Amino acid sequence: MSTTPNPWTRRQFLNTAAVAGSGLLTGTPLFGRAPPPPTYNKKLAAITTTYHRYSHADDIITKVIEGYSIVDKNYPPPCKVASLYIDQIGDDDIGRGLMKYWDIPIVKSIAETLTLGGNELAVDGVLLIAEQGDYPNNEKGQKLYPRRKFFEEILKVFRASNRSVPVYLDKHFSYSWDDAKWMYDQSKELGFPMMAGSSVPVARRIPNVQPKIGVEWDRVLSVGHGHFEAYGFHTLEALQVMAERRKGGETGVRAVQCLAGKDAWDAAEKGAWDRKLLDEAVSKMPGKNPKTIDENDKDALVYLIDYMDGFQAAAYMSPRHVKEFAFGGRIKGEKDPVAWYFELPKPQRDHFSYLVTHIGKMMGTGKATYPVERTLLTTGMLAALMESRADGNKRFETPHLKVAYQPVEL
């Protein structure tokens, strides 16, 4: 895993914070003191739905402002947050206090976040964190976050200014494939780099295994837990970051199917997904429920993925047995499968530190560190799986998901 340049030692980080906090360094008051200097001299606009402790806004925006740690090694802020827009301010809000502390203005509109109160684009990048908050669900159980709406407001400023800058979009593009494809196409039309997705693909793997690009997979499977959409997305990203490394690269997805309970387990017996890979992946995970997986997960969900090139994969959603994300893969010609779990340490949440490292590099260099097409594809897979689930778990054909791309080394 690559890291941001110029790491601080823990002692240097704490000593600097202590001096700044006392006001002895510059004589500045408690509020409005400057954070440590950023690695890249870039100003970012931050846009979020809500900002409470351990929200995605806190996990990402706060780390961009204050710096972060990875396995007890401290790093300065990658960039400078110049302004913040919060769509919903709840009773548990910490955004206002943090921005006051760091002397960062909270503005009233997305346009003002990007223009800094002027008439045209005045920042070097945009953080769009539209996750969590009080938004409605549709009949399929999808949370209707206003990601496209916020994205449209960003584009208005780009077009009016005849200039665009890098954008990071947290998690999947949208609950809607049509919205997602439109957003992706806009980024290509205007020519700005974009990254999106989950923190899981860039998290530390235990054990640390990295199959080479061009690996000849036989079957692969990811394991996740929690809500079928919100956490199903993370599970699909954990799957796709490995599936895309197969020989020939990514070709897109032909069809998907959501299976539940007995149907899911029966499908394993018929060979539709690899039960041994599930057991191997689960064996790597900490904190398992003491009962067997068969006892705990009688009502498990399984997402079947058929790719355009004939490759097949699955994502297993555990309702009770595990509370982590993992991966198992069988390589052609190899006797034993490979497997690991993705470490998401709590309360440190270092997986978001890895993600912020990648975001910072894109903002600083103007080049995405991994393909946004991965998240375009997982967005489409998830939306199609929600259709399958809503339609009695029928197979759902996806000729529109012909999303081809090549992976990169992380």
Over residues 197-213, the pLDDT tens digits come to 999 999 999 999 999 99
What number of residues does the chain have?
Answer: 410
Residue ranges of the chain that CATH labels 3.40.50.720: 10-197
Q: Quick one: CATH architecture of 10-197? A: 3-Layer(aba) Sandwich (3.40)
Q: Note the pLDDT tens digit of each residue in 248-269.
A: 999 999 999 999 999 999 999 9
Q: What are phi and psi of 20, to 5 degrees?
A: -60, -40
Report the percent of the chain where pLDDT is more than 70: 91
Q: Note the pLDDT tens digit of each residue in 99-112.
A: 999 999 999 999 99
Segment (H or E) for 281: helix 275-283
pLDDT above 80: residue 366? yes
In angstroms, the CA 212 to CA 410 distance is 11
Q: Note the pLDDT tens digit of each residue in 235-248.
A: 999 999 999 999 99
In angstroms, the CA 45 to CA 124 distance is 8
DSSP state of 62: I
Structure tokens at 278: 């599930």
Segment (H or E) for 241: helix 230-243
Q: What is the pLDDT, as a whole number, of residue 34?
A: 67
Q: What is the pLDDT, as a whole number, of residue 108?
A: 97
Verdict on whether the full-model pTM lies above 0.75: yes
DSSP state of 200: G
> In which band, very low, low, confident or very high, does the pLDDT at 71 lie, cut at 50, 70 and 90?
confident
User: What stretches of 95-229 show up as alpha helix (H) in DSSP?
Assistant: 95-101, 110-115, 147-161, 177-190
Is the domain spanning 203-351+372-397 CATH 3.30.360? The answer is yes
95 and 106 in contact (C-beta within 8 Å)?
Answer: yes
Q: Note the pLDDT tens digit of each residue in 382-407.
A: 999 999 999 999 999 999 999 999 99
